[in-house]
Structure 1
């Protein structure tokens, strides 16, 4: 299970550009869409324009401070705010949380911990994003009951969806026709095994797999998906 990170937007509001760039590079390497802003006065309007899922917000900003920025942003959009500060006073933390911050990290901090906190905020505030399974160029959205390939949503019947999903989550494993029938059609299915061949053909047509490079036939055994 994975977040669809290329659709998750993170805004860093931090006046120390070296820190902002450090965080940005790390998060982009993780696959997130990342934006930076360096002062407080226009931070709320920038946040409204970008509408990020996560905001990493420094308290000590030029112009409007992070506390006021946090309060303003929370009035405008649904987002999760992680506040950063070099100050370690418990009263500062309480104030930030009272103004709408969702989490708090003191400087210096480890990127690994920041990433863990971001993932926690995503799971808690945007659980629908955790219903995405990423397999190569395929994205399985169980919430919407959709599968995308190369960025386009495939038009699939319920059976096609269930079959393709089963093949994808078992990427690289050889699956017999009988196993596929039991998992996709159910153990009570009394039809012919060649129903699998028919639906495999449907799927190959829909993803343009003319050479059977994605959904491969293992003669005498069954099928396997190779997306890596």
Structure 2
């Protein structure tokens, strides 16, 4: 199991690297937020332990980067003990929050719990290329520009993004978005896709929603 520790306090970082190493984990240490971002983007980890107050990018910013990339478990380890800080961390997508000073035995127990959890929960944010969907806030943007969608358009885009790179049949899309089966000659899916494209694809040169003749549709960034 690989753990990334992003911690700027040298004594704490060295202590945890030694302890977690002796407990059988491979530990990489980043001493500031910028190094942390580099490792997050370049390598794969089974767990990330983050401080909040860091030189460069802070822990909140790093957590957003982690969540854009996947569902790697994140444990905040920080001196920020205010209730609003804990709530903020969990709302941004952290899996656990431990306040300094801490007991190593408790930290190790929390690490083990996070690493043996089942399948990760659904991501709160989804992204492909410059298209970004925030599930909790129900916001969609492309290249930083806000896109207003109806409830069905949002549900349709969420389905396409969550299954990006997969060929989805019209009947599957209909069953997932409208919760019912449509007759094969019904063009409701085609109409909905056309309306969605007008908002998320047509204004930009790079197209993300692709038609698969005889099959259905796929959302995928071009190579």
Which TM-score applies when normalising by structure 2?
0.51
Partner of 1:97: 90
Quick one: distance in 1 between partners of 2:119 and 2:23? 18
Q: Is the 8 A contact 1:48 1:77 kept in 2?
A: no
Q: Does 1:56 align with 2:45?
A: no
Q: How many angstroms does 1:125 deviate by? A: 4.5
Q: Which runs of 5+ in 1 are unaligned?
A: 1-7, 128-228
Q: How many angstroms does 1:95 deviate by? A: 0.5
* Aligned positions of 1:16-95 closer than 5 A: 16-95=9-88
* Aligned positions of 1:167-178 closer than 5 A: none
**Higher RCO, Cα 8 Å, sep 6+:** 1
Q: How many residues align?
A: 120
Q: How many angstroms does 1:85 deviate by? A: 1.2
Quick one: distance in 1 between partners of 2:118 and 2:10? 28
When residues 41 and 113 of structure 1 are mapped into structure 2, their CA distance, relative to the original with a 3 A threshold, is same
For residues 53-106 of structure 1, give each alpha carbon's deviation from its aligned partner in whole angstroms, at most 9, with x where no partner exists: 111100010011101111111111331100011121000001111111100000
Which TM-score applies when normalising by structure 1?
0.50
Q: Which runs of 5+ in 2 are unaligned?
A: 121-223
Quick one: distance in 2 between partners of 1:49 and 1:126? 23
For residues 34-55 of structure 1, give each alpha carbon's deviation from its aligned partner in whole angstroms, at most 9, with x where no partner exists: 1000111242231132211111
Q: Would you identify which runs of 4 or more consecutive aligned residues in structure 1 move more than 6 Å?
A: none
Q: How many angstroms does 1:119 deviate by? A: 0.8
* Aligned positions of 1:154-169 closer than 5 A: none
